[in-house]
Amino acid sequence: MAEKTKYHFNKDTLSFEKIETTFVHIIKIIGIQLFSGICVGVILFFLISWFLPSPIEKQLKKENQELKNNYNLLSKKNDEMNKVLSDLRYRDNNLYRVIFQAEPIETNGEYNNWTQSYEELEDQSNQQLLGSIIKKTKNLERQIYIQSKSYDELFTLSKKNGERLQSLPAIQPVMNKDLSRVASGFGYRIDPIYHTTRFHEGMDFTSPQGTDVYATGNGTVSFAGWSQGYGNCIRIDHGFNYETLYGHLSQILVHEGQKVTRGDIIGLVGSTGKSTAPHLHYEVHFKGVPQNPQNYYYLDLSPEEYDKMIQLSNNSGKVFD
């Protein structure tokens, strides 16, 4: 089939003229088409790359997303374990250590809330995510170690609890089943000599001269002699940060360094020192701080007797020293 002859209209001559196809013309057409094809291809390549990532990019994004999801899961589990540890620490300090009267454990504020939102994770690099989870893990390890040491200490305290229970002041220092000997309790009272209000650091028991005075718990006599204001006085170190004092005695029947057992007779009631009548002044100290003795008669009184003693010791009562 013969190639069709192409014509174009010449406006100057107002006639159709035959188009001569030259080699240069062919090259020109090919160049234009090739350039147009390249431009279209480049544009399409960038458009496809922008909207359709490559398989490698897809795989990297998928792995990065999995990493963030795993971090988020680990972070939540870490926070849950920290909450459990925080609860254990609270019960440790407010229950177990109260029972054994041990100092609360210190964590230096290291129970922190590490929770991060998903949006915050989006802005972190893999290195930052790794650093964050390492910090959280180390914090958790430290809290577990602290709590473990605390329970080791509590276990040791529990083994010593038998000795501790025998040592704690737990009975009244004079025979007082009918509670008629409670003269004045712990708290602010009127001084019998100076007639001014002062803090009474113990409890007074009225008793006839020479009445037996008992050690209220196992311990060692740390002082036995004359003490200003207390007259003839005995102090017993019960260990476990407890000490008792027995004042105004007519006689001292123990000596310093002597071991005593709860219920041992250690002296006799008198009226020595700053005293207006025969009585026993009795104090209980914990860590050097005076305690209300009424809280330390649990082995000696029934619930009804204890309630009655509380009422008597809390009244205005007459102070004899």
Give pLDDT, residue 102.
Answer: 73
Half-sphere exposure of 196 (CA within 13 A, CB side): 2
- pLDDT of 284 reads 94
User: Residue 193 class from Cβ within 10 Å (0-12 exposed, 13-18 middle, 19+ buried)?
Assistant: exposed
Give the predicted TM-score (pTM) of the model: 0.54
Quick one: angle between helices 126-159 and 55-91, nearest 10?
20
> Phi and psi of 10, rounded to 5°?
-95, 115
| Range among 74-88, 169-183, 274-288, 302-316 with highest mean pLDDT value | 274-288
Task: Classify domain 182-313 by CATH number.
Answer: 2.70.70.10
**223 in Cβ contact with 258 (< 8 Å):** no
Lowest mean pLDDT of 108-122, 161-175, 292-306, name the range.
108-122
| pLDDT at residue 114 is higher than 50 | no
Per-residue pLDDT band at 122 (split at 50, 70, 90): low
pLDDT at residue 249 is higher than 90: yes
Q: Domains of the chain: which residue ranges?
A: 7-51, 74-159, 182-313
Q: What is the pLDDT of residues 147-190, one digit of tens each?
A: 878 877 777 777 777 788 889 898 989 988 766 677 677 766 66
* Exposure on the CB side of residue 289, measured as CA atoms within 13 A: 2
What whole-number percentage of the chain has pLDDT above 90? 24
Higher-scoring residue by pLDDT: 157, 126: 157
pLDDT digits (tens, 9 = 90+) for 197-247: 677 788 888 889 999 999 999 999 999 999 998 999 999 999 989 999 999
Q: How many separate helices (H) and strands (E) can be counted in the chain? A: 7, 14
pLDDT of 109 above 70: no
**Helix spans in the chain (H):** 23-51, 55-91, 97-100, 118-122, 126-159, 161-167, 303-313
Q: Beta strand 219-227 with 231-239: parallel, antiparallel or unpaired?
A: antiparallel
The whole-number pLDDT of residue 247 equals 93
